[in-house]
Structure 1
């Protein structure tokens, strides 16, 4: 299954998102940068997930931090579509199983990309 799209389609979709990202929020949540325009991760994080022995997919969840800001939470998944996660006993430990803590735009935005407008 091919999941790739053209630059033109990606540009159209990201422009629509930038234009509408505040409009979809209730007024009290607008203009607080709760919805990121993009998030930038180091390659090493993806390499760690992709190197999991059973990794067949990458899955992106969306979560909300204590400041109500939305974040991409990225995990590996196996061929049975099961997330590859730490055991419950290690649920409070930080390991290389769950990727987050990206550079969010705004405030840390990439320069000169047709996807950022």
Structure 2
């Protein structure tokens, strides 16, 4: 009898700590950004076609790949997106196109305010070594204390080839 009660208690605690609650969503606001998957697939195909036409018009056919290595897509995990949305005052995200040191086009993502302004600041807390009672000294310039998201996992390293958005 005690074993059954203990097992039920363990299951209850497990269910409580590992429950999955959805992020609250205003469906009316979300609808402003929703398009049919067929339209989304048409967009990705049109982009791939335009990229191929542009490459064909260049004298140096390797220029686009060498100087603007465009990804098909990038994958960001839920925690990265939640970090942006959990930033105080965040009501959305903005995605910029960037060019990293490898000459790869990448997505730089920041949280935005209700007014449409980029929210600047630290995104992830530093959990490094600290001594209780002694505040950490900050020797970095202020612009290095501000963070954005990048380093998504680029396709073809992480792709869903069954998706209608994937390119042939």
Do both proteins adopt the same fold according to a TM-score greater than 0.5, normalized to the shorter chain?
yes
Aligned to 1:55: 90
Aligned to 1:83: 118
Please state which structure has a larger fraction of its residues in helix. 2
Aligned to 2:165: 115
Separation in 2, partners of 1:85, 1:30: 32
| Structure with larger Rg | 2
What's the TM-score once normalised by structure 2's chain length? 0.60
Separation in 2, partners of 1:102, 1:19: 24
Residue-by-residue CA offset, 1:10-54 (whole Å, 9 max, x unaligned): 010011112222433543423447011110011100000001120
Segments of 5+ residues of structure 2 without an aligned counterpart are 1-28, 123-139
Aligned to 2:46: 16
What's the TM-score once normalised by structure 1's chain length? 0.83
Aligned to 1:99: 149
Residue-by-residue CA offset, 1:52-109 (whole Å, 9 max, x unaligned): 120012100110012221000000011122111128934235x7x4111001113432
Aligned to 1:4: 34
1:38 paired with 2:73, answer yes
Question: Aligned pairs, how many?
Answer: 115
